[in-house]
Structure 1
Amino acid sequence: MTAPPTVGVVVLAWQAEPYLADCVDSVLGSTGVDVRLVLVDNGCRPEDLAAIRSDERLRLLRPGRNTGFAGGCNLGVAELDTDYVALVNSDCVLRPDTLAQLVTEAARPGVGPVMAGLRLAEPPHLVNSAGNPVHLVGLSWAGEMNSAETRTAPYDVTGASGACTLLRRSVWTDLGGFDEEYFAYLEDTELSLRAWRRGLAVRCVPAAIALHHYEFSRNAHKMYLLERNRLLMVATLWSSRALLLLAPLLVTTEVLLAAYALSAGWGRQKARGWAWMWRHRDHVTRRRRALQAEQSAPDAMWMGRLTPALDPQVIGPAPLTRIANVFFRAYWAVVRRLL
């Protein structure tokens, strides 16, 4: 008999985690795989940790500080020696066959990260993310939110959501995991784009279902991290030629986002993002040099995965977004030929 593939799962716990025990139970209840779980305590409430049942396959890791999503995942994966590694949000509940289905797809030649079919926990027939689109200027969002999923076969996506993603351990090692400077948000997007830039497909397996107790909050600190990390991602992944060709769009976007941030009450956090990029310019330079050197796919191929259209439902204000999309599409139709 062939032994089932080994899958190491990393779950992070921070502050209040009302769904943590359900998440852990669902991971340990996975079928068709030999599962190990590392739970990284980034400062979780003791009562939520106490609700987790003891299991020899579960290891609790206490770094003694909040390492963020990027740092916590790196720490957790470092404790595993499994064939595959998976990242699962603490508010996700997996179906028993979810990990096995993800393994089947991730095992295919030329495939990098694969994400589960993320459904909203309530109501479970609606999509939370069917893959995360990435815009020319680096903005990203949960794709097809609140739509009904009708697909069953795996399909390519630009960005795999870190809420439930699995990949071969060898791919994780080759990519070097996450850049911990991201701390939280867009580190999964960067990893996905790096896979595409190395000629690896990124996919969603809609039949591998993960129910996500999703809640989006536009607090100032989250908006700071999203904007700062967007700048870091574009500055390190986009080639010099792409940056030059997209410069008018990038500059215009910065002006508009700064105005929006001021009107929405997080203008100071937007400015902090620019300041961080300047203070950490040595890291940005080193990271850019490393990521430009690793690219094997031409810009025309991997940047063809980017979208010129913003989603008016998630990137507001909607009337301005629709107007901007007309300009974005026209500009991209010309620039794409020059990459």
Structure 2
Amino acid sequence: MTRDRRPVTIVVPIYDDLPGLERCIEALLETVDFSVDRVLLANDVGPRVDAIEARVLELVGDHEGFEYTRNPRNLGFVGNCNRAVLELDQTGNDVLLLNSDTVPMPGFLDEMTAVLESDDVIGVVCARSDNATIASFPYARRNPRATLAPRRTRELHGRTKYLLPRHTVSPVAMGFCFLIRREMVDRFGLFDQVFSPGYGEENDFCLRINEHGFTSVLANRALVLHTGSTSFSGDRGPSLRLEHERILLERYPFYAGAVALFLARYRDAVDVFADAFLPDDDVVRVALHVPAELTNEVVARVLSTLEAAPDDVVVTIIVAKSQIRVARQAFPGAAIAVGGRPRQIFDVAVALGALTTFAQLSALNANAPRWILVDPVSHDVRWSQAVANHRASAIDRILRRFENQSTAWHDGDDLVRLIRMAATSEIDPAALRARWHAVSDIAEATGLLVHRATVSLRRLTALTFGARNPRVVARIRAITGRGA
């Protein structure tokens, strides 16, 4: 570890969850260079305060790098953080707020501080994690229904972290591991008490300093594992989330649009498709994009492909919203998705016929790092055909810049063979990055992707209703499949 950097005070707010806290302290003992940095443990008088205090003091003993404090009364997460940073820590150090249910990996703090010092406009730095919303790694997965084990995140992060840029600018940083430049605290304070006892306070802080020209970033090569959602039980957690999201959107109407823009454009392509760089199973997952018109010939080709696909080639048929009813009738029992599935990626995307809209091109771009084009647009020398097909030809020229393979249709067996070959091919990060940005730029320039700078009264009303009726919202999400 290097000592040639600004020191950090690591503030660990404590409430309950003793097993998580034990793992966190043990990890800090192994990963922190106490000749440079210090740890402040701030006990917020939870339901087992005395037992937790005794165990904490047993763990840290007389270790000079740890300071322990106990609040006179419960202040809530926001109040606890504010007291620790604004009143108790008088070092002038940069501050890392670290949740007590985290397990930092070796080198995390050196990497985060290096990112913070790389640019004076960076105000906040967040690590990557297995459980941290937009900072999660991987964010999109080949099989979203499978449990994401910490081991998988560690393995995948180790494989891909040096393929990623060192940091990525994000609208907000996640509060589980929140490194703050001391200047930000001196100028802007810390968390707004309106978000007490917790949820949303870190987002408000990031957006507040951003209005003054400072950014929040993800440190892509730092990893901190995170259990998450251990502070608020029952309905209280969901209710606080929804109520505080409403406050955020009222203060920053562009916030939802900023997050959508980040996910659609600002993430690095390797980040988007990280889970495909090192598959954790022997299954090939395929997005089969059908043309705008489901002709009898198209239906026959899809059925031929589905019949030829063995158990280890899992095909999802990608259709437009207007095609969903017809597709379900034509392909009973098949997996069908409109454009794709939220937070799911595939190993290979197949365009089964010419793409004629930018929406199809954008969906193909978002689905997989590898493309196979089947029967793409034929380049006819007749002007009558050139005029009739000029839009599809333009899209085809874009496709051919980034395809892995073009082929004429033969049968389902031949296509499955090509899919297997494509799935074993190495992903070229530079080519993938060029494709991702080119198609994303086209989608935005043509108005296909629109990120709104306002929030509707309908959404604010829905958030208010949800905060008051969290169980009803949870039931609706479960029924509509939006709970994942």
Residue 125 (structure 1) aligns with = none
Contact 2:242-2:464 within 8 A present in 1 as well: no
- TM norm structure 2: 0.46
Aligned pairs for 1:23-42 within 5 A: 23-31=24-32, 34-42=36-44
Contact 1:30-1:96 within 8 A present in 2 as well: yes
The question of 1:99 aligning with 2:109 is answered: yes
Aligned with residue 74 of structure 1, among 76, 79, 82: 82
Aligned with residue 250 of structure 1, among 456, 463, 467: 456
Distance (Å, rounded) in 1 between the aligned partners of 2:3 and 2:60: 29
Q: Secondary structure at the match of 2:31?
A: coil
Distance (Å, rounded) in 2 between the aligned partners of 1:27 and 1:130: 24
Amino acid in structure 1 at the alignment position of 2:456:
L
Counterparts in 2 of 1:28 and 1:74: CA distance versus 1, 3 Å: farther
CA drift at 1:106: 0.9
Residue 158 (structure 1) aligns with = 171
Distance (Å, rounded) in 1 between the aligned partners of 2:79 and 2:20: 22
CA drift at 1:118: 1.4
What's the % identity of the aligned pairs?
21
Amino acid in structure 2 at the alignment position of 1:13:
I
Contact 1:117-1:129 within 8 A present in 2 as well: no
Contact 1:130-1:204 within 8 A present in 2 as well: no
Counterparts in 2 of 1:161 and 1:106: CA distance versus 1, 3 Å: same
Q: Tell which structure's C-alpha radius of gyration is larger.
A: 2
Distance (Å, rounded) in 2 between the aligned partners of 1:114 and 1:317: 34
Moved more, 97-106 or 255-264: 255-264
CA drift at 1:228: 2.4
Residue-by-residue CA offset, 1:106-160 (whole Å, 9 max, x unaligned)? 112211110011125xxxxxxx44438xxxxxxxxx9658586544421112221
Counterparts in 2 of 1:110 and 1:258: CA distance versus 1, 3 Å: closer
The question of 1:211 aligning with 2:225 is answered: yes
The question of 1:50 aligning with 2:54 is answered: yes
May I ask how many residue pairs the two structures share in their alignment?
255
Counterparts in 2 of 1:218 and 1:49: CA distance versus 1, 3 Å: closer
CA drift at 1:219: 2.8
Q: Secondary structure at the match of 1:155?
A: strand
Residue-by-residue CA offset, 1:43-77 (whole Å, 9 max, x unaligned)? 24333332322222222222222212211111111
Q: Relative CO higher for 1 or 2, CA cutoff 8 Å, sep ≥ 6?
A: 1
Residue 59 (structure 1) aligns with = 67
CA drift at 1:229: 1.7
CA drift at 1:3: 4.9
Moved more, 229-238 or 158-167: 229-238
Aligned pairs for 1:103-182 within 5 A: 103-107=113-117, 108-120=119-131, 128-131=132-135, 144=140, 146=148, 149=157, 150-151=160-161, 152=164, 153-182=166-195
Counterparts in 2 of 1:2 and 1:114: CA distance versus 1, 3 Å: closer
Amino acid in structure 1 at the alignment position of 2:65:
R
Distance (Å, rounded) in 1 between the aligned partners of 2:168 and 2:54: 39
Residue-by-residue CA offset, 1:142-201 (whole Å, 9 max, x unaligned)? 965858654442111222111001021112222211112211000011111123222212
Counterparts in 2 of 1:25 and 1:320: CA distance versus 1, 3 Å: closer
Distance (Å, rounded) in 2 between the aligned partners of 1:233 and 1:222: 16
Amino acid in structure 1 at the alignment position of 2:60:
R
Distance (Å, rounded) in 2 between the aligned partners of 1:86 and 1:193: 18
Residue 316 (structure 1) aligns with = 477
Contact 2:17-2:101 within 8 A present in 1 as well: no
What is the Cα-based RMSD across aligned positions, in Å?
3.4
CA drift at 1:254: 3.5
Q: Secondary structure at the match of 1:177?
A: coil
- TM norm structure 1: 0.64
CA drift at 1:218: 7.2
Contact 2:123-2:209 within 8 A present in 1 as well: yes
Distance (Å, rounded) in 2 between the aligned partners of 1:67 and 1:263: 26
Distance (Å, rounded) in 2 between the aligned partners of 1:262 and 1:65: 27
Residue 200 (structure 2) aligns with = 186
Residue 195 (structure 1) aligns with = 209
Counterparts in 2 of 1:266 and 1:37: CA distance versus 1, 3 Å: farther
**Gaps in structure 2 of 5+ consecutive residues:** 142-147, 258-451
Residue 17 (structure 1) aligns with = 18
Contact 1:86-1:166 within 8 A present in 2 as well: yes
Amino acid in structure 2 at the alignment position of 1:115:
C
Counterparts in 2 of 1:59 and 1:143: CA distance versus 1, 3 Å: same
Q: Secondary structure at the match of 1:235?
A: helix
Moved more, 213-222 or 41-50: 213-222
CA drift at 1:208: 0.9
